Structure 1
Amino acid sequence: MGAATAGTLVGNALSLLLPFVITSWYAAGPTTDAYFFALGAILLLNVTLSAAVEAGTTPQIAVLLRTSPDDVPSFVRRTQAVATTLCGLLTLLAITVVITVLLPASGFTPGQLHDVNVILLLLSPLPPLITWNAVNSGTFYAFGSFGLPTASVGMRTLVALISGFFLRQEIGIVAVPVGLVVGELGRLVVLELRARSLLGDRPGDGRRPSHSTSVPSQRQFWRSAGPQAVSTSLGALSPFVDKTIAIGLGAAAITTVELSQRMVYTPILFLLSGVGLVLGSRWAGHAAEQNWNDLRVEHLRARRVVLVVGGGVVLVAVPLVFVFRPLMSSALSLDDPSILAWTFTTAALGIPFALATQVCVRVLLAVRSTRWMPLVTVLGISLNLVLDLLLVRLLGVPGIGLATAAVNVLNWIAYGAIADRALRSRLGSVGAAEFPVDASGDLSREETSS
């Protein structure tokens, strides 16, 4: 767990700082609003498949390592090919929709529209690259290797910071997206070299992995990862909707929303990312061994712990943000830093529930019970949109943060109930024999009652 936590801290610290550095370089205003709007669209594409693929790869490989380890290399390569191709097609479609439909109705100035179009095109290779790397990361986690995939995330941001620093005078803010793509490409090379060694799949070694279970394994993988991919892609609409609504709230409103979201994301990332990776890998092993009782006990304990810790974080972080308002005003060129402080405060109310929700998601992925995820996400998006429209009239930009917190509460309730039901079904009177591990790598039979 120490390697995972350390790698996560190293890999994501720069990513969390990037929007604040960009805002300090270019000052909060139309230029940063255009950048964060375009970046929000690309981040939506990033999570369309990459998060689902990474999380779904680990439990599937855990089963293959137990049932047919020779099929792991072929499964990894097939998954990379299919997921990356699908992500590339979705990227092309989504950027086309954003440029032709959303931007003309956005209210951006001609200069902002130009910036958004250029940044979108420059960032378009990023989602397929991240999806390819996500499969490798999920593979490493299944093998219990956490340091490299988590720490290497920082390569993307490090190159972007270097590019932005040295080229911002020559080519402006577009230096940052160029650096992000180049950095992710470098990360791909590093992970591929390590993956070939890990899988024993070096070119020319004469090994030909068996394909006896590769097709069934692919079916089981996409049966689990498919609903999560739909769920995560829909869920990524909420921050994008927040930024779209913020367009009408004045200059630097999008930047304020982006910075507050990053500030909320920071404690969630530092508290759960490293631990979550280890727990997800551990729980995938429990599921592969059908240790349902151990899995349920650890899951419930983790939910209680993150709720308490998350509440403590809120009590500490909110006063600190208000104390540092003068610093935010000078460093970020914000006319009214109190708006950012209040937006963070309202959104931070949902931090404990967001942490607990992620614990529930991890256990659902471990037992591959993901069928209800898209429905919960649709409910969350609908609630977020309605509350955004209502609360911005009452509170302005901080209303967007309060809507986010409310959605986190809804997700906590829904995912908690689904996770409890999934685990109870495996501990019910029918017994664990109802969920055999067969040669195709299927961990469990979906509950007919669900």
Structure 2
Amino acid sequence: MSESSKPKRSLAGIAGIVAIATLISKVVGLLRTVAIGAAFGTTAAKSSYDIASIIPGFFLILLGGINGPFHSAMVSSLSKRTKEEAAPLVETVSTLIGGIFFLATVFLVIAAPLCIDLLAPGLQQTVQGAEVRAIAIQGLRIMAPMAWFAGMIGIGFGALNAADLYWLPSVSPLLSSLTIIIGVGLLALAVGDQIVTPQYALIGGVVLSSGALLGTVLQWLAQFWAQRKAGLGRLRLRFNFRDPAVRSIFAVMGPALFSSGMFQINVITDLFFASFLPNSGPAIASFDYANLLIQTPLGILSNVILVPLFPVFSRLTDPEHWDELKARIRQGLLLTAIAMLPLSGLIIALAKPIVQVVYERGAFRLNNASQLVASILVAYAIGMFVYLGRDVLVRVFYALGDGETPFRISVVNIFLNGVFDFILIKPLGAPGLVLATVCVNTFSVLALLWFLNKKLNGLPLREWSFPIFGLTFGSVVSGSIAWATLNFVQQFLGQGFIDNLIKLVLAGGVGLIAFIVFAMQLKLPEVDMFADRILQRFPRR
């Protein structure tokens, strides 16, 4: 909406709303995966669901996710328009996108076997893999309509954020988690311990897939209700596709869609290689368990950083504002470093007790899955900074109206990811596939900085690099201290849940304090600002 027609919120206010809502959503998402782990562990029901959900999840993350291309394109366009101009524009875009993804849904239902075979061809080589394949085909057919709902969710997400409405879009993804938790709980009550037996694998896969679909439908309904109440469009067909405003949205949406899609293709590439591993079923299931432990804090912190900054980037695109834009880019990168680097160090040092505390119960414990999940978690943690740093830089290009450069880099990344997967899978196994993605994201950050340096007539890259290197060193020190503390404490404790929780709290707390002390010595404005805000909240509470 236009600046005069919507209420003003500070970056801190927006970040607070998004942080709380996203925290709730992510915590419920973590509980969902804990419930799935306790019920199914790394059995065929879980691995087949992970494979079947790749394509629907691809659409939901790519199209319906916060900071996704639909969200970015809608915010970029609607933030400059009045509510009266926005409603018909939202309806026109929804009509076009809805038609395209209705056809995509029909295709997925018909071609489900072909899709699964393309995603994980190695499954056909073993009897266990063939069972996973059959359940995955059924699950994909159930979840196929998520493609249509994902498009509608992404459009509504952007429209609500452009109207300065952040709470419901950020919290609504928890509905999918709740429906899956309820479904798994009801199945467990019905069949008891037999839930992990082979004869219930198909039922388990159906329950997981149906829960994901139902939750997506509920998410769209809740968001559409808020969208309609805000006067941002109804469920109405409009065919004014030649409107210049519609074209401006697709000018950003098209390249952004392909650019973000390239990253998801890297996930599919990893799955392709993982299907040929000797332990392909448990490995595929383990990726999801480890990834969620990374995505929970990463999702919260990325929304806190990216959601408030993207509109700011968009308002500073004129050359006369480039000095301030550069300052905001530096702020985004340093906030990313402050948030991500110490988390990486602590997760690397404490991966095993983290996995044990979060997941090790029920079927997960019976499968002895902790060691494999912990090794994959370490690989994910190594790349946390470059993952989020890449997203910060991509948003700058989108704000500048340049979706082509990130897209070209992403195309190169597909090739690089395949090469690194091929090189690293043999010596490192499943963690090697994750490290391949880390290498690709590192290349992306360097390439984006190089192009942005040219586009903005120079960036103070050397000046920015010193504090980032300092924070990296501090994170290594923090992780080392946490690891040493863990080894000392575990001499006096066992391997039970309470024992592992005590180890985690003590070692993590000592490591975090070490990083805070170190970071404060760097005298960075971003560190001081963050610390002041935290301290200011204690007296009020």
Superposition TM-score, scaled by structure 2 size: 0.71
Which residues of 2 match residues 127-166 of structure 1 at below 5 A? 127-166=147-186
Query: Would you say 1:198 and 2:230 are equivalent positions?
Result: yes
Partner of 1:199: helix, strand, or coil?
Answer: coil
* 1:121 corresponds to 2:149: no
1:83 matched to 2:97? The reply is yes
Q: Which residue of 2 aligns with 1:186?
A: 218
Distance change (3 Å), C-alpha of 1:46 and 1:91: farther
- The answer to whether structure 1 residue 346 and structure 2 residue 379 are counterparts is yes
Matching residue of 2:268: 240
Q: CA, structure 1 residues 324+61, in 2 after alignment: closer, same or farther (shift >3 Å)? A: closer
Letter in 2 for 1:189: L
Q: Which one-letter code corresponds to 1:151 in the other structure?
A: V
Q: Please say if residues 45 and 91 of structure 1, whose CA atoms lie closer than 8 Å, have aligned partners that are also in contact.
A: no
- AA aligned opposite 1:306: T
**Distance (whole Å) between structure 2 residues aligned to residue 73 and residue 157 of structure 1:** 30
**Equivalent AA in structure 2 for residue 2 of structure 1:** G
- Which 5+ residue runs of structure 2 have no aligned equivalent? 1-14, 192-202, 460-541
Give 1:21 deviation, angstroms: 2.3
Q: Using the alignment, how far apart are the partners of 1:390 and 1:318 within structure 2? A: 23
Distance verdict in 2 for CA 1:98–1:241, change over 3 Å: farther
Aligned equivalents of 2:176, 2:354: Cα separation in 1: 29
Pair 28,119 (structure 1): closer, same or farther in 2 beyond 3 Å: same
Question: Partners of 1:346 and 1:201 in 2: how far apart?
Answer: 44
Aligned in 2, Cα 1:301/1:325: closer, same or farther, shift over 3 Å? closer
**Which residues in structure 2 correspond to 1:400-415 (within 5 Å)?**
400-415=433-448
Structure 1 CA distance, aligned partners of 2:86 and 2:164? Answer: 15
Matched, 1:72 2:76: no
Whole-angstrom CA distance in 2 between matches of 1:92 and 1:307: 43
Query: Which structure carries more relative contact order (alpha carbon 8 Å, separation 6+)?
Result: 1
Could you tell me how far apart the structure 2 residues matched to 1:330 and 1:146 are? Answer: 36
Residues 188 and 293 of structure 1, relative CA distance in 2, 3 Å threshold: same
- Cα distance, 1:381 vs structure 2: 1.9
Among 70, 79, 85, the alignment partner of 1:53 is: 70
| Bigger shift: residues 122-131 or 110-119 | 110-119
* Cα gap change, 1:79 to 1:45, in 2 (>3 Å): same
- Rounded to whole Å, the distance in 2 between the matches of 1:12 and 1:324 is 16
- When structure 1 is superposed on structure 2, of 83-92 and 404-413 the one drifting more is 83-92
Distance 1:71 1:132 in 2: 19
By how many angstroms is 1:384 displaced? Answer: 1.5
| Residue of structure 2 aligned with 1:308, choices 333, 338, 342 | 338
Residue 250 (structure 2) aligned to one of 190, 203, 222: 222
Residues 1:359 and 1:131: Cα distance change in structure 2 (over 3 Å): same
Which entry has the higher C-alpha Rg, 1 or 2? 2
> How many Å separate the matches in 1 of 2:355 and 2:179?
29
Contact 1:242/1:257 (<8 A) preserved = no
| Contact 1:376-1:414 within 8 A present in 2 as well | yes
Indicate the residue corresponding to 1:111 in structure 2: 131
Separation of aligned partners in 1, 2:339 and 2:327: 19
Alignment partners' CA distance in 2, 1:186 and 1:363: 33
Identity of aligned residues (%): 18
**Residues 342 and 398 of structure 1 are in contact (CA less than 8 Å); yes or no, is this contact kept in structure 2?**
yes
For the structure 1 residues 91 and 97, does the alpha-carbon distance in structure 2 shift closer, same or farther, using more than 3 Å as the test?
Answer: same
Alpha carbons 1:126, 1:184 under 8 Å: kept: yes
2:54 and 2:235 mapped to 1: Cα distance? Answer: 38
Shift of 1:289: 11
On the 8 A contact 2:310/2:396 being kept in 1, the answer is: yes
CA contact (8 A) 1:11 1:152 kept: yes
Q: Does 1:32 align with 2:53?
A: no
1:12 to 14, 20, 26: 26
